[in-house]
Structure 1
Amino acid sequence: MTVVFSQATAEQLPAIREEILRIHQEVRHRDFQILTEFQSVERFDERLANYASRPGWTAVIGHEDGEAVGFAFGVPLGPDTQWWSTMTEPLPAEFIKEDGKRTVALNEIVVRRPWRGSGVAWQLHETWLAPRTEERVTLLVNPANGNGAVQAVYEAWGYRVVGHQQPFPDSPKYAAMVRPVARP
């Protein structure tokens, strides 16, 4: 069987929103038992709407035989971004200067259990990045996820940790990671 990947823009979010929310709930709540208020479907949907309201938001969803297998989405960091503002140790001003064209943030990448370990996450990631024109991509990862295994996957994909942050008062403390959009 083959997974087929589809790109989506903010205008297409209404058509894919329920699939994204269902996958989020299945993976975060059922599979990983992350039952915090921060990971509730309502809060996740608020963040999704917020991200999708910004210029340049895109998503990719994978389907196999009509069944959604996972998604990835993100948005460029604009000049007024707060992305770097919650770093525990400030980064150099030149590093965090954004203009909407320098850095794209991968806000979420989620794969359903039957497809984990099959390369689908990598394919979602690369399909989402393929049309991006920014210089670099950033993401946040909870270093505790999978006892560090999730962060190790991102490192294998070329990301490096540039510091740590807690973007919301009730969110985990994340490692902030960066890599070039074009894989080195």
Structure 2
Amino acid sequence: MSETTLTFRHATNVEEVRQAILDLHVEVRGDFGLMHLPFYSVERFGERLTGHSSRDGWEAVIGYDGGEPVGFCYVVPLGPTTQWWSSMITPVPEGFTTETGQRTLAFNEIAVRSAWRGKGVSKQLHDEVMSGRTEERATLLVDPNAADGKLKAVYESWGYSEAGSQQPFSDSPVFSVMMKEPLK
């Protein structure tokens, strides 16, 4: 695998990057044949983006190869009143879901355009966000069936492990909850 060298744009104001994120979402999810499903529609994704970006500490990173946007991720620290853990299907240890706003960083989205997949772009986006964070651990959701399980395996190769499963929306997949701790 040859790695692509990227430049990054960080944003904490969603309006500065909303259209770029929406465009990348449509292209990437369309590549996987998901745009016909209501959960992945641009309208529903836009609603989730608005909700996520309204939380304290939200940050997006868009990666560029030359001047061309190739992928994005965005994160938010989980606050004391987070709903992140409310849709867990599997039980977790006592205290696992206790949040302070500094304990857990949630990756809400990571997406990379097809021509840049397999070149380390997702990991570069992930690491770019993580380089400036102080949280103790990170979490993300992955459809365990995506890419025949290969996507989940990628996250495991980054040091994440499965902590259970959840279905945050009635029409979303049942996701594997992946955790990486400690971060430092």
TM-score range, shorter chain: over 0.9
Separation in structure 1 between the aligned mates of residue 149 and residue 67 of structure 2, nearest angstrom: 32
| Alignment match, 2:134 | 133
Q: Contact 2:107–2:138 at 8 Å: present in 1 too?
A: yes
The aligned amino acid for 1:126 is: D
Q: Contact 1:132–1:181 at 8 Å: present in 2 too?
A: no
Q: Say what the alpha-carbon RMSD is for the aligned residues.
A: 1.2
After superposition, the Cα gap between the structure-2 partners of 1:182 and 1:92, relative to the gap in structure 1 and judged at 3 Å, is closer
The aligned amino acid for 2:150 is: A
Alignment of 1:11-160 (within 5 A): 11=13, 13-29=14-30, 31-34=31-34, 35-160=36-161
- How far does the alpha carbon of each residue in 1:124-143 deviate from its partner, in whole angstroms, 9 at most, with x for none? 00001111110000000000
Separation in structure 1 between the aligned mates of residue 5 and residue 94 of structure 2, nearest angstrom: 45
Unaligned runs of 5+ in 1: none
User: What is the TM-score when the length of structure 1 is the normalising length?
Assistant: 0.94
| Alignment match, 1:8 | 11
Q: How much has 1:104 moved relative to structure 2?
A: 0.7
Which region of structure 1 is more displaced relative to structure 2, 85-94 or 168-177?
Answer: 85-94
User: What is the TM-score when the length of structure 2 is the normalising length?
Assistant: 0.94
Q: Which contiguous aligned blocks of 4+ residues in structure 1 show a shift greater than 4 angstroms?
A: none
- How far does the alpha carbon of each residue in 1:62-83 deviate from its partner, in whole angstroms, 9 at most, with x for none? 1122110000001011101111
Count of residue correspondences: 180
Q: How much has 1:181 moved relative to structure 2?
A: 5.8
Separation in structure 2 between the aligned mates of residue 112 and residue 62 of structure 1, nearest angstrom: 10
The aligned amino acid for 1:152 is: A
- How far does the alpha carbon of each residue in 1:25-53 deviate from its partner, in whole angstroms, 9 at most, with x for none? 00102x11102000000100100010000
Q: Contact 1:129–1:181 at 8 Å: present in 2 too?
A: no
Separation in structure 2 between the aligned mates of residue 120 and residue 86 of structure 1, nearest angstrom: 30
Separation in structure 2 between the aligned mates of residue 76 and residue 181 of structure 1, nearest angstrom: 15
Aligned-residue identity in percent:
52
SS at match of 2:111: strand
Unaligned runs of 5+ in 2: none
SS at match of 1:95: coil
